[in-house]
């Protein structure tokens, strides 16, 4: 009898521990819209996939996206009639639509909500992304004896011309690959045509590249390596 009572007490203790642990475990779950860390505007229209990160098992979730000009977008994932029926589509991804007339800057999710199968509320987490105009960097090289002449060419996406145009006045750094490490050669500011010329003394052949600088409205870019 003592063994039976002892076993019963042990069983109840274990069950109680499991029950007390369950709410704590459930409380650690969350639902969030996984925004990309950075977005480059390089076309008139963009559709950025946004994945739902869900450790709760939600049947419905939605978030507002706010940017420099206020409320910008509404993202929704749902399996019922609320918001957008069947938005999960088996992948739990929605699309954040962006046009090049929108301002670059920081965009954040806010006012999120998520529901479980029994309409219980789940905790949500918020995310942000950095949106800027895209740029491209090019570099050409020509050797004459022990001197390499490097021509930098930078372009930027223009939101009203819907194409890339010279990135006049941009700053960039020319680098050389030495032993597998890119090292500094010279910093330049390109002209109105987006170009700059650098003469570099180099007795041996090497790889070169140019890296344009990030600015508040534009991402920098790295050119493909050239050998001279």
pLDDT value of residue 133: 96
> Which of the 8 DSSP states describes residue 42?
-
Tokens of 95: 């699309």
pLDDT digits (tens, 9 = 90+) for 201-228: 999 999 999 999 999 999 999 999 999 9
DSSP assignment of 102-154, as one string? SPPEEEEEEEEEEE-TTS-B--EE--EEEEEE-EEEEEEEEEETTEEEEEEEE
Tokens of 15: 């069950």
**What's the chain's length in residues?**
228
pLDDT value of residue 93: 72
CA dihedral 200, 203, 207, 208 (to 10 degrees): 0
Average the pLDDT over 46-64 and give the result.
Answer: 90
Phi, psi at residue 165, to the nearest 5°? -130, 165
What per-residue string of b and e applies to 64-96 under the rule 16 or more CB within 10 Å gives b? Answer: bbbbeeeebbebbbbeeeeebeebbeeebbbeb
Q: How sure is the predictor about 22, in pLDDT bands with cuts at 50, 70 and 90? A: very low
Q: How sure is the predictor about 7, in pLDDT bands with cuts at 50, 70 and 90? A: very low
pLDDT value of residue 227: 96
How high is the mean pLDDT of the chain? 84
pLDDT value of residue 149: 98
CB within 8 Å of 153: residues ≥ 6 apart = 137, 138, 139, 140, 190, 194, 195
């Amino acid at each position: 009898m003592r063994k039976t009572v002892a076993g019963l007490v042990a069983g109840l203790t274990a069950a109680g521990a499991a029950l007390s642990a369950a709410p704590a475990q459930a409380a650690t779950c969350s639902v969030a819209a996984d925004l990309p860390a950075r977005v480059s505007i390089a076309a008139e229209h963009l559709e950025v996939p946004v994945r739902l990160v869900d450790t709760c098992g939600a049947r419905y979730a939605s978030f507002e996206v706010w940017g420099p000009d206020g409320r910008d977008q509404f993202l929704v994932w749902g399996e019922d009639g609320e918001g957008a029926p069947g938005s999960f589509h088996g992948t739990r991804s929605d699309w954040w639509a962006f046009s090049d007339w929108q301002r670059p800057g920081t965009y954040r999710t806010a006012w999120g909500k998520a529901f479980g199968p029994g309409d219980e509320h789940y905790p949500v987490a918020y995310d942000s992304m950095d949106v800027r105009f895209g740029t491209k960097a090019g570099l050409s090289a020509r050797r004459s004896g022990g001197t390499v002449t490097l021509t930098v060419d930078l372009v930027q996406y223009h939101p009203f011309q819907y194409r890339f145009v010279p990135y006049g006045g941009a700053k960039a750094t020319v680098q050389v690959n030495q032993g597998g490490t890119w090292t500094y050669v010279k910093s330049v500011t390109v002209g109105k045509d987006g170009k700059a010329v650098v003469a570099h003394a180099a007795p041996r052949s090497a790889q070169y590249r140019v890296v344009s600088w990030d600015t508040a409205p534009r991402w920098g870019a790295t050119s493909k390596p050239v050998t001279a």
